[in-house]
């Protein structure tokens, strides 16, 4: 943790100190003084140390964009950890903004801008978020569609009164079956993907916007397809498939269960 302190603390910048605190630079000394080093605390400390190493390397590569990523990451953690909801969402319209935040919109913004060396000005930040909304709606709904079975079963085991998932919200909002809710979800995903593609194409032509904003809006399209492939194949959502099956999957084989998605390969 000392390396991160040396990297940021000398800057004497309040925002840097706040971010450093958010990433837990003071966790270990405080925990040691209070004498509560147990398994849970140690796991938290380990996670913070890993985060600090990642941040240190990013700042060494590109300090300004690394700082932007840190701010986005720390805000994402704060938003997710502070969100507590005792009642279910009544509609998909009410649910989606919260789900998009949980899906990592802020964190992904930081990673994409860092990896692509993009800078989004404060003046364009709100527009950037607005242009990315169709893509993020598609991303969030895609994740919910493929994670539904796992989350439904987990909620049932825990005796939870509702499931934080778009399928559950759609079933209750429209009084429809699970299979019908999945179909509605697919339709909405397609609608948002189409809108995201149009938005990116239109944004490309708006030369009055910064080059970085136009590049970022297009980059999010690749996140949609990447998220889809990951959701189809990740063992987390396909628990019934063994690791061997995932490692030796035949090209072009449909392994998406009842989601009716087929991955084609070029001949």
Residue 208, pLDDT > 50, answer yes
- DSSP H helical segments within the chain, as ranges? 2-8, 14-22, 27-34, 39-61, 63-82, 92-102, 105-115, 122-158, 166-174, 178-205, 211-233, 243-247
Lowest mean pLDDT, pick from 21-35, 172-186, 217-231: 21-35
Is residue 85 within 8 Å of residue 162, measured between CB atoms? no
Task: Provide the angle, in degrees to the nearest 10, between the axes of the packed helices 92-102 and 105-115.
Answer: 50
97, 107, 109, 66: which is closest to 213 by C-alpha? 109
* Average pLDDT for the chain: 77
More confident residue, 211 or 35: 211
Is residue 132 within 8 Å of residue 90, measured between CB atoms? no
78, 22, 75, 29: which is closest to 48 by C-alpha? 22
Is residue 169 within 8 Å of residue 92, measured between CB atoms? yes
State residue 41's pLDDT score. Answer: 57
Query: How far apart are the C-alpha atoms of 143 and 95, rounded to whole Å?
Result: 14
CB-CB neighbours of 29 under 10 Å: 10
Residue 153, pLDDT > 90, answer yes
Residue 47, pLDDT > 80, answer no
| Percent share of the chain, pLDDT over 70 | 67
CB neighbour class for 2 (10 Å; exposed up to 12, middle 13-18, buried from 19): exposed
Confidence of residue 190 (pLDDT cuts 50, 70, 90): very high
Buried b (16+ CB within 10 A) or exposed e, 228-251: beebbbeeebbeeeeeeeeeeeee
Angle, alpha carbons 181-183-186 (nearest 5°): 110
The residue assigned the tokens 């969100």 is 83
Query: What tokens does 121 get?
Result: 């000005």
Residue 264, pLDDT > 50, answer no
State residue 267's pLDDT score. Answer: 35
More confident residue, 86 or 108: 108
More confident residue, 48 or 257: 48
Query: How far apart are the C-alpha atoms of 233 and 13, rounded to whole Å?
Result: 44
Query: What tokens does 131 get?
Result: 């242009």
């Amino acid at each position: 943790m000392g390396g991160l302190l040396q990297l940021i603390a000398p800057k004497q910048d309040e925002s840097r100190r706040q971010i450093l605190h958010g990433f837990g630079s003071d966790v270990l000394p405080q925990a040691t003084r209070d004498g509560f080093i147990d398994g849970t605390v140690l796991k938290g400390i380990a996670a913070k140390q890993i985060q600090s190493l990642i941040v240190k390397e990013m700042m060494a590569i590109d300090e300004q964009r690394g700082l932007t990523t840190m701010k986005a990451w720390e805000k994402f953690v704060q938003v997710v950890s502070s969100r507590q909801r005792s009642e279910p969402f009544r509609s998909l319209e009410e649910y989606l903004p919260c789900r998009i935040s949980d899906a990592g919109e802020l964190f992904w913004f930081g990673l994409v801008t860092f990896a692509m060396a993009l800078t989004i000005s404060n003046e364009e930040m709100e527009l950037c978020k607005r242009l990315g909304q169709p893509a993020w709606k598609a991303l969030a709904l895609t994740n919910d569609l493929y994670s539904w079975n796992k989350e439904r079963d987990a909620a049932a085991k825990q005796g939870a009164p509702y499931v934080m998932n778009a399928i559950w919200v759609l079933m209750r909002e429209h009084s429809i079956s699970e299979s019908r809710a999945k179909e509605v979800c697919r339709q909405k995903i397609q609608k948002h993907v189409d809108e995201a593609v149009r938005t990116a194409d239109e944004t490309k032509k708006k030369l009055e916007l910064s080059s970085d904003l136009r590049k970022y809006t297009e980059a999010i399209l690749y996140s949609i397809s990447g998220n889809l492939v990951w959701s189809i194949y990740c063992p987390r959502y396909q628990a019934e498939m063994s690791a061997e099956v995932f490692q030796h999957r035949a090209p072009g084989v449909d392994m998406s269960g009842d989601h009716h998605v087929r991955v084609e390969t070029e001949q």
